[in-house]
Amino acid sequence: TAPRARRGGISTLAAGALGVCGAMAAVRFADGDWAEDAEFAAYGAATPALRALDAETAHDVAVAALALGLGPRRRRRDGEALRVEALGTTFSNPIGLAAGFDKDARAFEALLRVGFGFVEIGSVTPKPQPGNPKPRAFRLREHGAVINRYGFNSQGHESARTRLARRRDAVAAEGDDATAEPRGVLGVNLGKNKLTPEDNAADDYVLGVENIGEFGDYIVVNISSPNTPGLRNLQGRKHLSGLLRKVLDARDKNPGTAKTPVLVKIAPDLTDAALRDIASVVKSEKVDGVIVSNTTIARPDAIKAHAHGDEAGGLSGKPLMEPSTKVLHDLYKLTGGKITLVGCGGIASGEDAYAKIRAGASLVQLYTAFAFEGPPLIPRIKRELEECLARDGFKSVQDAIGAAHRK
C-alpha cells in the first residue's frame, strides 16, 4: 500500500509538473515584466516535483532540463545599485552560482539567463572520473543544508572544452551590440584527479589553465573540497605558494589567458595560523582573488542529531553561513581589503548576501538554497539586497563592500 501511495504521489507531482510546463510554454517567448513573473512562478511551482526525487537524481534532472534550455528567462535589467566592478570586469549584479551545480559546463547559458550575475562551472578535472560511490548527496531539509561527498565527478577537460567553445563562438558572433542583454560572467573552476599524487597536483591545475582556462572570465583553483583525499593539504604554505606560482606562470604564458584573473577557493575549517599563511601567500604571489569558502567538515550539534548528520562529506547551506562569513571577515582584515573576495556559504536571502558584502565580499555565490528553492530565489535575493542597501543608506553594492570594518 505504501509503495502504491508513493507512486500515486509522484504521479500527481509529475502531472502537476506537466501542467506547469504547458503554462511555461505559453509565456516562454513573451516579453515584459508580467511574463518574467509568470515564468518564474511556474518554475517555482515545479520545484517540489524535484524534491520528490533523491538529491543527486534531482540535480541531474535539473541540469539536463537547463541544458535543453528549459529555464526561466529574466526580462528586467538589474538596477544600477547592484552593479559591481571586480576582477577587471563589470558584473550586472553580485549574485553568482557556485561551482558544483554545473560541473561539466552543460547548463551555464540557461543559468545566466535566470539572472545570476555570474556562473562558475566545474570543478573540472583533466581526465574523466566517476567520483565517489553513490549515494553521495543527502538533504537535511529542516536545516536548509546538504551533505555531499561527490568527489569531483567530472567528464574531464575535453568534454567541457567543446561546450565552452560554443559559448565563445556565440559571443564573438554577437559583436558589440550595445542594446543586447548582458550575457553574464563565466568562471572556470579547476580540480585535480583523484589519482594524481599530491606532489604533482600543480600539473593538473596547469593543464586546466592550458586546456579550458581561455573560456573563462576568471579561473578558480579549487584546493579545498573535503571529498578528494589530500586535497586540502594543498592549502598549506608548503604547497600553496609553489602551486599558485606554476598556475600563474601558465596563465601568463598562454595568450588566451594572459589577462584572466586567477582565484583560489579555500575551506572554512582553517586555524588562525593557516588563514594567515594563506593571506600571506595570495598577497606575495599576487593572486587576483579568493573564494571563501567551500563546504565544511564540521558538524554542529543540530546537524549531528539529524538522521544524515553522520554522513561523510562536506556540509553546505544555512549552517555554513556564520563560520564562512567569519573566515571572510578575517581574511579581508588580513589582506587589507586589497584582494577581491567572493563570499560563499549559507546564502539564502538578500540579508545573507548583504552580510557577506559588509564583511568584505565584492561578489557572493550560492548553491544549496538554489537547489532547495529553485529559480524564484534569484530575483528575490536581488530585490532584498537592494532593500538592504537602501535601508542603510548605500547607493550601491560597491559602497557597502567591507562596511563592517569601517567605524
- Annotated catalytic sites, by residue? 225
Q: What is the largest CA-CA distance in the chain?
A: 65
Q: How far apart are the first and last CA of the chain?
A: 64
d(C-alpha 400, C-alpha 88), whole Å = 19
